[in-house]
């Protein structure tokens, strides 16, 4: 799949560190999930400025950054697009795309791993999937590991040692109830110490929650505020064989809703043998994303939620494309 981000500092440095620093300082990434061709009612064209690797640029901090994944009807990543293939709207007002990149950058990633009793017959393949995901790492990436059953705990703080993560996850066993929402909360809290501006959480779980202190509303609010993309691999039995508890039945929709809020995606797996391939697919997607930057036309610092929508001006000959991106962001309050 796809992935790739950008960066930004606020000094004369290469463009990638520039964009990264802006994200950290102002939490301005924003995005919408959309799939559409450009309509006739747009206000103006928005040709973007291509920023090449190593190019120096001074950028002010009032910059909204949008991570975008593009796929074709076969769910394959679409790469090679240009700035003028995208249009960005904030609260239905078209914005001028001023910065554009599709380069891979270092990522801070947390894996949220389900070790509840319901995972007992799936945990072996789930561990294999996590290990496969770690193998997609770049040298400058950092990872942490959170597990949950009755309660969530940090198994490893940020590290670049994939070997350490592997040994910790391989020795874990599945038992007890499921505090999925607490696991997501702990992952978002741990992400505050990340050193990279591009951030993501990968949740590996069979869904459902029956033991968390936090509720679904709490977590949805937090993920909207966080500058972190969430991805999930939901390991579900076929519907007719699932437990009839509400937690189990709501598991797939819960994972889908929290990931889509952030511009990430939820992958559903019924055959555990598919897990390693899905994990690799997510790792690839994270490294093949586009980033669009714009200065919001609404310059007020009112701390309000601003909706984002990205539309395509698709190149001729391409089928309808799907865009995955964050649904919005909160404006700064100062």
pLDDT at 279: 96
**Domain of 217, in residue numbers:** 107-285
Could you tell me if 268 and 295 lie in one domain? no
Distances (CA, A) of 70 to 98, 270, 331: 19, 25, 26
| Mean pLDDT across 85-111 | 96
Is residue 18 included in any domain, yes or no? yes
* Residues 250 and 124 grouped into a single domain: yes
**Do the domain assignments include residue 49?**
yes
Q: Do 159 and 298 belong together in one domain?
A: no
Determine the Cα–Cα distance for residues 278 and 283; give it in Å rounded to an integer. Answer: 9
Provide, rounded to the nearest whole percent, the portion of the chain with pLDDT above 90: 66
Highest mean pLDDT among 49-63, 236-250, 263-277: 263-277
| Domain count of the fold of the chain | 2
* Two structure tokens written together for 87: 């249009």
Tell the burial category of 53 from Cβ atoms under 10 Å away from its Cβ (0-12, 13-18, 19+): exposed
- pLDDT tens for 82-97 read 999 999 999 999 999 9
> Which residues, at least 6 apart from 62, have a Cβ–Cβ distance to it below 8 Å?
26, 28, 295, 296, 299
Same domain, 246 and 111: yes
CB atoms within 10 A of CB 175: 14
Asked whether residue 300 carries a pLDDT value surpassing 90, the answer given is: yes
Considering the domain architecture, whether residues 275 and 132 belong to the same structural domain is answered as yes
User: Residues 185-214: pLDDT tens digits?
Assistant: 999 999 999 999 899 999 999 878 889 999
Do 267 and 158 sit in the same domain of this protein? yes
CATH number of 209's domain: 3.40.50.410
- Residue 236 binned pLDDT confidence (cut-offs 50, 70, 90): confident
């Amino acid at each position: 799949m796809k992935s790739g981000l950008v960066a930004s500092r606020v000094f004369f440095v290469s463009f990638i560190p520039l964009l990264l620093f802006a994200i950290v300082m102002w939490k301005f990434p924003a995005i919408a999930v959309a799939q559409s061709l450009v309509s006739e009612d747009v206000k103006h064209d928005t040709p973007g400025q291509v920023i090449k690797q190593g190019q120096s640029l001074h950028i002010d901090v009032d910059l909204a950054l949008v991570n975008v994944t593009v796929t074709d009807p076969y769910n394959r990543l679409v790469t090679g697009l240009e700035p003028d293939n995208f249009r960005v709207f904030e609260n239905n007002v078209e914005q001028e795309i001023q910065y554009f990149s599709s380069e891979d950058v270092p990522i801070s990633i947390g894996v949220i791993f389900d070790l509840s009793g319901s995972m007992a017959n799936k945990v072996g393949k789930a561990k294999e999937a996590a290990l496969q995901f770690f193998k997609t790492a770049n040298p400058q990436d950092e990872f942490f590991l959170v597990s949950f059953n009755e309660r969530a705990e940090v198994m490893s703080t940020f590290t670049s040692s994939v070997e350490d993560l592997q040994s910790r996850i391989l020795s874990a066993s599945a038992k007890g109830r499921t505090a999925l929402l607490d696991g997501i909360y702990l992952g978002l809290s741990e992400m505050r110490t990340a050193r990279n501006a591009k951030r993501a959480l990968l949740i590996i779980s069979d869904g459902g929650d029956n033991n968390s202190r936090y509720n679904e509303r709490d977590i949805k609010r937090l993920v909207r505020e966080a500058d972190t993309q969430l991805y999930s691999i939901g390991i579900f039995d076929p519907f007719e064989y699932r437990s009839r508890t509400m937690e189990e039945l709501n598991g797939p929709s819960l994972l889908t809703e929290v990931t889509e809020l952030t511009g990430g995606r939820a992958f559903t797996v019924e055959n555990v043998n598919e897990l390693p391939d899905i994990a690799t697919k997510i790792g690839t997607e994270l490294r093949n994303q586009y980033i669009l930057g714009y200065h919001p036309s609404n310059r007020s610092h009112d701390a309000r939620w601003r909706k984002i929508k990205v539309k395509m001006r698709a190149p001729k000959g391409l089928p309808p494309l799907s865009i995955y991106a964050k649904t919005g962001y909160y404006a700064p309050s100062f």
